[in-house]
Structure 1
């Protein structure tokens, strides 16, 4: 039943790709951990078991469907939360419709002063700051609903707001001391002081371990002296408060050795020595300010260390993972606005004697636009609700929501332009501006390429822990017979082509087929991940052709799960749109599961591996040649 092949696996420690500022990410180096020596003895139960997780995505990598955060579709809004939200929605929508001019902001490459003042008056700069510090005190779901409005109107304004509160002072909000909160939150919540997040440097994009900015403590320990340069900093030209990351010397308490570790600091422009360069000229989000920031012997009080000396990477992760879900919400708003324009055009435009809405080509475009929007919105509010419910297991889900939303929004807006033809290409419709603005979203908050690796490797690491449990149990089968029989049975059933999967519980019977398909696909996904781990062990990090397809499979499965959960809730509640949502769910899930099975087949295919090797060879030839290698078609 159980083969005796050792399953000891040692994966690299993976940290998630982080947003640094527009057009950059932070991805700490993937340092391989040495394999732990395993003695042939029974391991205490507390050592055998991996740390349990309620994350649906994390457990997928073990072939398990854990629905604690999935079904029923979560919603932690109380009546008071809903009432507050309704009070805010109408005036906010009216403000962006009547008072903000996105075209002017884009043309002049700056958010108009009256727009900024209007946002201050509405409390938009401190939406999640507790009321005791002068903020609105919104929870994550309320915040997500509000940023939908901003995303539908002006992504340039959205970045200005997001760089300020989603990352700029978010560290103070989530890990700051009571004294730091009391000192800084009132002024940033009111918008009197703008905030920025400063991590990216000329030499450190995806590899934040190469940070060169340095903060050296004074002899008396009262302050640090900071020197360095940060690039692509949103709000960099006018922010007063910066969350800055720099290397500091840290003494190891065990060995006494001094090593450099990254520390986060709260830095005020008023400290002196902080200057900035000219605003960057960008493809999109022109209204948001982006600039280099320079630190020349900036004196930082010791009490302005944020989250503890040497804990900078941890602080960055907490900030960025905490705010990443908001991007899906904002882009859901952008998609909704683009779809509205496309539907209006298709409904009224007549060609060849008929409205273009009657043509199958247009119908398929509109239907697919609706499906990916539905999936994006489902992800955004599922994750925000899980966070409001106290979940700490949402980091992979949030990363997936960012990747999916940024690519879906680009596709939707591009297709809206296509439906509108020449009119869509004209500046007058506003879609060309939206498309330019959207391009950055696949790059910042962690490039989608890096985030795919983060999802795949983090999930693989979790799965490897599970495999280690099985391997250790084999050293004392008498004490672990239940575990071994269960694992052996699952593998035996798969070996003869049968499935252990059971349909997702709690799903409406109208979607029973899709529920069964998701469960079976999760099982196939877990089996494929296990096979890759056994084959490549710690070297799995180098199998990026396969890892990308594993990540795409994880994205398809999780979005399908979010869609089926939301649609099932609508059907059960007798929602007026239930049939429409059911139709969306059936098509979306059927196609997503089909794509996943195709990707999983590829990662196990020897022919595909040969093609991957050929692609690597082609790429290497190009890089060695400095460009294209093949001669011109005409020979000259």
Structure 2
């Protein structure tokens, strides 16, 4: 995808000219890809651009509409048979990681022990979601989440090896493969052959559309000849089967243009080689290398998802697997919290156990809130996927951002509670902290994903506002739409609007935060409309207010999710119900308390002055090559 030239944020535009009209497909493609997608859609005929509808809570949040379908009630995605299968699978996997896998040795040796790998293949851990008839276990997304959570609690390096193989490595074959591709390759990737996902290049990280690797059809039309290189590829040195993305020339409107295409590439095709394993900060036992392609003949039948559709394939693979990261990091947080809690309950200082100090109590409580929320997001997204939801990509992105940020905080606080002991290798927490750092970077950096959340929602809202603008051009034919919108806005303007009635959705103890949630949903809609009217298409460049908007969206969605989960616990009479209600209420109080200030920061004059000040400072730092001011001694 070619990059659109970015303009500076600011200025006013007529809303009728400036409102984006379609959902963004770009995640790792970043802001440039998003802008290109939006401008391309705006060129379509108006009759093709009606307001989108969706059951997504988060997308509707940008319109100020409370949509409970994918949040309330909490999804129940397991049948009795699937639950029974999990009950049989989880104990041996837990036992394996407790008794066979040695995370400290894996980290020290920078590779997974052969016995551990053999055991994982024997357990079927490398083919969890492949249909049973093709060699896998045939698990649903929710079942997969539970097993990934176990892995995340024990060894993130092993988790990356497993995830790079199936969550992204051959996931494209599961999602887009032809029957012939699935029957040929899926038995192999469940039977001992590793897979890898090859997208990132030395000059193409978040801007995935700018890749340079190329594939050109051979003169006889039987193969694509692949040339290029990829960098930081998990399983890159051991993979036999790879999903590779390359630019291919295609004919469009009488011109030859480059479009990204996905290919299934075998190392055995010839011309595929790998560099030495990278020396990394964390996840050291996972194999990470550069991969080189030199005149690799790839059969035309190995095109995945159609020529020129590679960007769509890549984005769907990444979107489809992000909930797994949240599940793994929920397990990581649970393990770290257990370690911190056990230490706090036994360590005595100043004549008291650490757990008796209110400062430590607050730390443990906030760690528990973050773990509970991360876990909730993982199973809400996987449950939505399993029950047939179509729009879950924004929620999946939120789960990845929230989980990776929260896991870092929880493990860091666990180290703090253990004090000097937590800093020692023996406790294992320093390894976990090192392993965690990459999760905020790969499979879409958190910075890009926050912008993806904001811009995707803004375009969804924009299609509705454009529909309203068209209605005013022919008011007689659209009186219902106009009057309903006018009534809603008038009520909000005079303070009469209270939001959706949420009383039937939540437990009695949670009615107050649920009512506040519903009120803030309307405030989101007004904020988004204000941003669009002020900045128009240039909103894509207003990253500072967009980041605040994304933060508000994350706080709002996570609150809805935990209110739903805690209500379920109370409805089912679970032993944990009282604790879950407290956790949900505590998270809602914190998260919803932040939302008004975050939304205000997208439009406040003082906030804009600070954004301008920070931009200028950042520009000066970059131009100076570091801190632009001298030491106070001038020495």
TM-score computed with the length of structure 2 as normaliser: 0.95
**Could you tell me how far 1:26 is from its partner in structure 2?**
11
Is the 2:31–2:540 Cα contact (8 Å) retained in structure 1? Answer: no
Q: How does 1:192-211 map to 2 (within 5 A)?
A: 192-211=192-211
- Any idea what SS the aligned residue of 2:293 has? strand
Is the 1:231–1:291 Cα contact (8 Å) retained in structure 2? Answer: yes
- Any idea what SS the aligned residue of 1:125 has? coil
2:604 is matched with: 605
Q: Where in structure 1 are there 5+ consecutive unaligned residues?
A: 20-24
Cα-to-partner distance string for 1:10-32 (whole Å, 9 max, x where unaligned)? 4387333249xxxxx89736325
Rate the CA distance shift 1:128–1:48 in 2: closer, same or farther, 3 A.
closer
- Any idea what SS the aligned residue of 1:295 has? strand
Q: Distance in 2 between matches of 1:8 and 1:72?
A: 39
**Could you tell me how far 1:503 is from its partner in structure 2?**
3.4
**Could you tell me how far 1:35 is from its partner in structure 2?**
8.6
2:398 is matched with: 400
Q: 2:289 aligns with which of 291, 296, 299?
A: 291
> Does residue 1:33 correspond to 2:39, yes or no?
yes
Is the 2:28–2:207 Cα contact (8 Å) retained in structure 1? Answer: no
Rate the CA distance shift 1:479–1:293 in 2: closer, same or farther, 3 A.
same
Q: Distance in 1 between matches of 2:439 and 2:422?
A: 21
2:424 is matched with: 426
- Any idea what SS the aligned residue of 2:173 has? helix
- Any idea what SS the aligned residue of 2:601 has? helix
**Could you tell me how far 1:280 is from its partner in structure 2?**
0.4
1:581 is matched with: 580
2:334 is matched with: 336
2:519 is matched with: 520
Is the 2:246–2:261 Cα contact (8 Å) retained in structure 1? Answer: yes
Q: Distance in 2 between matches of 1:26 and 1:547?
A: 11
1:570 is matched with: 569
1:303 is matched with: 301
- Any idea what SS the aligned residue of 1:617 has? helix
Q: 2:453 aligns with which of 452, 455, 478?
A: 455
Q: Distance in 2 between matches of 1:11 and 1:231?
A: 34
Is the 1:247–1:263 Cα contact (8 Å) retained in structure 2? Answer: yes
Cα-to-partner distance string for 1:363-418 (whole Å, 9 max, x where unaligned)? 00000000011100000001101101111110000000000000000000000000
Alignment size in residue pairs: 619
Q: Distance in 1 between matches of 2:221 and 2:569?
A: 59
Is the 1:26–1:208 Cα contact (8 Å) retained in structure 2? Answer: no
> Does residue 1:320 correspond to 2:322, yes or no?
no
Rate the CA distance shift 1:38–1:405 in 2: closer, same or farther, 3 A.
closer
Q: Distance in 2 between matches of 1:569 and 1:630?
A: 56
- Any idea what SS the aligned residue of 2:216 has? strand
Is the 1:27–1:208 Cα contact (8 Å) retained in structure 2? Answer: no
Rate the CA distance shift 1:27–1:179 in 2: closer, same or farther, 3 A.
farther
Q: Distance in 2 between matches of 1:93 and 1:38?
A: 53
- Any idea what SS the aligned residue of 1:124 has? coil
TM-score computed with the length of structure 1 as normaliser: 0.95
CA RMSD of aligned residues (A): 1.7
Q: Distance in 2 between matches of 1:77 and 1:353?
A: 48
Cα-to-partner distance string for 1:311-355 (whole Å, 9 max, x where unaligned)? 000110111111111000000000000001000000000000011
Q: How does 1:119-198 map to 2 (within 5 A)?
A: 119-190=120-191, 192-198=192-198
> Does residue 1:16 correspond to 2:26, yes or no?
yes
Rate the CA distance shift 1:620–1:576 in 2: closer, same or farther, 3 A.
same
1:99 is matched with: 100
Q: Where in structure 2 are there 5+ consecutive unaligned residues?
A: 1-13
